[in-house]
Chains A and B, each alone.
Chain A
Amino acid sequence: AQSVTQLDSHVSVSEGTPVLLRCNYSSSYSPSLFWYVQHPNKGLQLLLKYTSAATLVKGINGFEAEFKKSETSFHLTKPSAHMSDAAEYFCVVSRRSVSGKLIFGQGTTLQVKP
């Protein structure tokens, strides 16, 4: 079985400071992992994905995530937060199977203070 746990439901940072959103996963198989962002009343946008290539994955808008198999983690980071980063972030795991089904974490709300 696969599962994903986002360790913080809410994170608050000041503009210009680093962002860390934590995600742990559980998978019996080699997983694909994703981070999505959702702004209020919008659909989800893919930030980045890990599919067994490089363990440090760079995404859009300056975000990156590191796949650590030993820690079963896939934390999302950004060196300097911008006001426009305020949104809901979802960590997602997918088993590499025909169905392509995704399993979503509960989400982390990122607040960016001026």
Chain B
Amino acid sequence: DGGITQSPKYLFRKEGQNVTLSCEQNLNHDAMYWYRQDPGQGLRLIYYSQIVNDFQKGDIAEGYSVSREKKESFPLTVTSAQKNPTAFYLCASSGMGHSGGYEQYFGPGTRLTVT
């Protein structure tokens, strides 16, 4: 089945530790995205990548880092510099056409709790 997988579903960390969230897609999509969702709020864009070995900051990139070494994979590292890391993290991908505006497909999410 084609889709996006995120692991783990739940993640617990102590404050001050870096943690990496996995995102893999087998949809052959060029673009991938990371979002953060807090209770009662919409999604906020952390980072996005339109092509391998290239990525751009979204609206709330501080305290996060990413890499895009393979087309299928776009891991997100939540660093100790992120002041409020507890949230639900969603990964998405999109098959970018020439005119853009394509829908994004989402993974099941990872709920990160930092204490």
Query: Which A residues lie at the B interface, using CB under 8 A?
Result: 9, 31-32, 34, 36, 41-46, 49, 51, 90, 94-102, 104-107
B87 at the interface (CB under 8 A from A): no
User: Which of B40, B100, B102, B108 is the one whose CB lies under 8 Å from A43?
Assistant: B108
User: Which residues of chain B have C-beta atoms less than 8 A from A32's C-beta?
Assistant: 101-103
A-B pairs with beta carbons under 8 Å apart, 27 shown: A31-B101, A32-B103, A42-B108, A42-B109, A43-B4, A43-B6, A43-B106, A43-B107, A43-B108, A43-B109, A90-B43, A94-B100, A96-B99, A96-B100, A98-B96, A99-B100, A100-B48, A100-B50, A100-B104, A101-B48, A102-B45, A102-B104, A104-B42, A104-B43, A106-B40, A106-B42, A107-B40
* Distance in Å: Cβ of B81 to nearest Cβ of chain A: 24
What is the number of residues of chain B that contact chain A, defined by CB distance less than 8 Å?
A: 29
Query: Which B residues lie at the A interface, using CB under 8 A?
Result: 4, 6, 31, 40-43, 45, 48, 50, 56, 58, 88, 90, 92, 94, 96, 99-109, 111
Question: Known contacts A90-B42, A100-B31: does B106 contact A45 (CB below 8 Å)?
Answer: yes
